[in-house]
């Protein structure tokens, strides 16, 4: 369970990047809604404790129980559907004295499950039967998440699993076929969704896509994104400053609902400006790249896949969130990693980074001939 580690393999850059991003998030959350700042600080403390503990536990030992994680995820997601807390028309939370969002925990646990699952099947990863089995195992939690409904988390979770499958050795030919079929399928779906009386998506999901494509025709559904874009633009180069009382502030005028969560980047853009926004993006990019660099030095495939999974989680979720806030994608409810308010998201992300750090602590040794050795 525990091993003797070499301290020089501890990735301090990753830890500092995560810590710096969280501090920025706490500051922006305090400016967006001060009632949530102390809770986010608590989340950071709990997250740091979780990350430190997880980082010294041998990930190979943890992966021995991978099927238990899968069963636990399915159980949690089923519990959400039957006993979940309904908020804003979506049932995504469970309240057992502590209110948490199981889909956030599910993403990290599924990374662990598929890291071991793909390791055990790396020699037959492209076998049609194995691909079908993988699709079934991935499809069940994805179906439960989309039923909440939470389409954005479903998409990000799918991208995480797909990235891990590719890293595990999925044939480039299969990837090409999937992309070749997916692009025209998405185009056809968009055309169908724009038709009156479409039944492909729930009404609110269809309205969000229509509001994104035709904001002038659906102002009631487009106002959140349009106000977000206006807030980011108004920040200009250096922003209006945190905790400002400017009368022309989009945030101060309450034109963005729940600004401390999914649309936190809009508040950051308005108050920290282009410079602050770029800093947030660069730190997220640095976290993603550091996870991939640790993956490159991992001693085995399961370690690589843990790092690729966490890099995908941070990278894809950040990309989708920022695209939504800037109007490049339809409005979806997805937190910005380490920045948005949410204890479940923050603590699970820190725990996930702990697994990445443990992979780094067990990295392959590097010799003078530029080869990694066991």
Residue 254's contacts (CB-CB under 8 Å, 6 or more residues apart) are none
Position 371 in a domain: no
Crossing angle of helices 151-167/102-120, nearest 10°?
20
Residue 221 has a pLDDT of 74
Position 335 in a domain: yes
CA distance 263 to 331: 10
Position 370 in a domain: no
Outline where DSSP puts E strands in 197-342. Answer: none
Position 295 in a domain: yes
Cis peptide before 68 (omega within 30 of 0): no
Q: Which of 38-47, 93-102, 188-197 has the highest mean pLDDT?
A: 38-47
Q: What is the pTM of this model?
A: 0.90
User: Distances from the Cα of 163 to the Cαs of 175, 177, 195, in angstroms?
Assistant: 11, 16, 33
DSSP 20: H
Q: Which secondary structure element, helix H or strand E, spans residue 90, and what is its range?
A: strand 90-95
Position 2 in a domain: no
Over the stretch 192-204, which tens digit does the pLDDT of each residue have? 766 666 666 666 6
Q: What is the mean pLDDT of residues 180-195?
A: 74
Residue 333 has a pLDDT of 76
Helix (H) and strand (E) counts in the chain: 13, 5
Return the percentage of the chain with pLDDT > 70, whole number: 90
Q: Which residue has the higher pLDDT, 223 or 120?
A: 120
CA distance 356 to 160: 15
Q: What is the mean pLDDT of residues 146-156?
A: 85
Position 1 in a domain: no
Over the stretch 344-361, which tens digit does the pLDDT of each residue have? 999 999 999 999 999 999
Looking at every residue in the chain, the average pLDDT score rounds to 87
CA distance 181 to 179: 5
Position 282 in a domain: yes
Of the candidates 63, 93, 71, the one whose C-alpha atom is nearest the C-alpha of residue 153 is: 93
Q: What is the mean pLDDT of residues 262-276?
A: 94
CA distance 167 to 162: 9
DSSP string spanning 197-216? T--SS-HHHHHHHHHHH-TT
Position 373 in a domain: no
Contact by Cβ (8 Å): 206, 212: no
Range of the domain at 92: 7-364
**Residue 7 dihedral angles phi and psi, to the nearest 5°:** -60, -30
CA distance 321 to 181: 25
Number of domains within the chain:
1
Query: In which band, very low, low, confident or very high, does the pLDDT at 369 lie, cut at 50, 70 and 90?
Result: very low
């Amino acid at each position: 369970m525990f091993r003797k580690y070499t301290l020089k393999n501890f990735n301090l850059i990753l830890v500092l990047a995560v810590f710096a991003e969280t501090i920025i998030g706490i500051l922006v959350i305090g400016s967006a809604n001060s009632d949530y700042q102390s809770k986010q600080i608590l989340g950071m403390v709990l997250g740091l404790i979780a990350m430190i503990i997880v980082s010294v536990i041998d990930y190979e030992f943890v992966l021995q129980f991978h099927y238990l994680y899968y069963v636990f995820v399915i159980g949690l997601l089923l519990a959400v559907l039957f006993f979940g807390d309904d908020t804003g028309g979506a049932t995504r939370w469970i309240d057992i004295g502590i209110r948490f969002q199981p889909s956030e925990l599910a993403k990290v646990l599924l990374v662990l499950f598929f890291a071991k699952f793909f390791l055990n099947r790396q020699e037959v990863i492209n076998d049609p039967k194995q691909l079908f089995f993988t699709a079934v195992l991935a499809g069940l939690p994805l179906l439960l998440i989309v039923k909440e409904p939470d389409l954005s988390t479903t998409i990000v979770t799918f991208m995480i699993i797909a990235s891990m499958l590719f890293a595990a050795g999925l044939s480039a030919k299969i990837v090409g076929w999937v992309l070749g079929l997916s692009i025209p399928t998405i185009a056809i779906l968009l055309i169908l969704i724009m038709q009156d009386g479409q039944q492909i998506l729930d009404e609110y999901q269809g309205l969000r896509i229509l509001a994104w494509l035709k904001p002038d025709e659906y102002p009631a559904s487009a106002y959140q994104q349009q106000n977000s874009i206006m807030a980011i633009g108004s920040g200009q180069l250096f922003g209006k400053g945190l905790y400002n009382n400017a009368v022309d502030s989009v945030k101060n005028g309450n034109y963005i609902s729940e600004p401390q969560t999914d649309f936190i980047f809009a508040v950051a853009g308005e108050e920290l400006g282009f410079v602050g926004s770029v800093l947030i993006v660069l730190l997220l990019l640095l976290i993603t790249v550091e996870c991939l660099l640790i993956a490159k030095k991992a001693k085995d495939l399961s370690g690589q896949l843990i790092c690729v999974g966490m890099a995908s989680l941070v990278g894809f979720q950040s990309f989708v969130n920022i695209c939504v806030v800037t109007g490049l994608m339809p409005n979806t409810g997805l937190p910005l990693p380490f920045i948005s308010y949410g204890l479940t998201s923050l603590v699970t992300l820190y725990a996930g980074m702990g697994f990445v750090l443990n992979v780094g602590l067990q990295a392959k040794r590097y010799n003078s001939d530029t080869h990694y050795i066991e």
